[in-house]
Amino acid sequence: MNKRGRFITFEGIDGSGKSTQISLLKKHIEQCDASCYETLEPSGGPVGAMLRQCLSGRMKTDEKTLAALFAADRLDHLLNENDGICSKIEQGINVICDRYILSSYAYQSVRVPLDWVMQLNEQAIQTLKPDCHIFIDVTPDTALERMAQGRFHKDLFETKERLTEVRQRYLELIDTLQEKETIFIIDGNQTIEKISADIWNKVQHFFL
Ligand code: ADP
Ligand code: TYD
């Protein structure tokens, strides 16, 4: 029987360096002769497509509806028969996901009660709990500077005020969830190479 794959999620405010670090972690995992599938939320599925329109401003909606859409997209991302994460894990493929439940807790709870956001995500966490969550911590100023260099368009939550609130919520949540979940806080204000080494240090035991 196949060994189950590992499930590692990346968290952080927009522009914290998640996708940069995910590519580097994938290389490390593959160097250990292990398979690795990289994915992200909002997902590439139909609810994810709707969410991207809401985030870019092309489609207008309220924050309660957004919270429900993020939770629905997450379940579809886990369970859909086309490229669902659960079936990859069952096949022994390691999966790295850019954002998971902590993103909903931190971003949506700024405008919607946290208890309700947690209830909405209960099915997802019962279906698949990450082996660990990696939170890349950067200051909102650093994240905004990095984003300004690489892009022209600002998504819905990419303001200093919102990112400051979201980062604060992440830190509070990590503190309260520490006993239930394995969450590593990584200092994201360092060089790309040093951050990558810090992350590998935390997760290499899964693959060696
Ligand atoms: P995210 O996926 O969290 O939005 P990215 O990985 O896309 O973040 O990084 C945002 C920008 O910052 C990119 O242009 C990337 O090259 C740059 N970047 C990422 N990590 C660092 C770092 N440690 N130091 C300086 N720039 C970085
Ligand atoms: P993403 O494309 O990962 O942005 P970035 O690469 O800049 O970090 O995520 C899109 C936006 O969606 C981001 O602002 C965070 C937000 N988001 C939520 O508010 N709740 C969620 O559950 C998820 C998955 C993302």
Is residue 105 predicted with pLDDT exceeding 70? Answer: yes
Indicate the Cα dihedral angle 88, 75, 199, 161, nearest 10°: 160
| Residue with CA nearest ligand 1 atom 16 | 20
Percent of the chain with pLDDT over 90: 93
CA–CA distance, 104 with 89 (Å, rounded to integer): 22
Q: Please report which confidence band the pLDDT of residue 93 belongs to, taking 50, 70 and 90 as the band edges.
A: very high
pTM to 2 decimal places: 0.97
Q: Which of 103, 112, 142, 166 for a ligand 2 pocket mutation test, highest count of atoms within 8 Å of Cβ?
A: 103
pLDDT tens track for 119-148: 999 999 999 999 999 999 999 999 999 998
Is residue 1 predicted with pLDDT exceeding 60? Answer: no
pLDDT confidence of residue 49: 98
- For residue 147, give the ligand 2 atom closest to its CA: 7
- For residue 190, give the ligand 1 atom closest to its CA: 23
pLDDT tens track for 20-66: 999 999 999 999 999 999 999 999 999 999 999 999 999 999 999 99
> Which strand (E) or helix (H) includes residue 55?
helix 46-56
Mean pLDDT of the chain: 96
E strands present in 14-74? 36-40
Q: Count CA atoms within 13 Å of residue 94 on its CB side.
A: 22
Radius of gyration of the chain (CA): 16
Cα 146 to averaged position of ligand 1 atoms, centre (Å): 6
CA–CA distance, 111 with 113 (Å, rounded to integer): 7
CA–CA distance, 200 with 27 (Å, rounded to integer): 11
Sign of CA dihedral 116, 99, 96, 57: positive
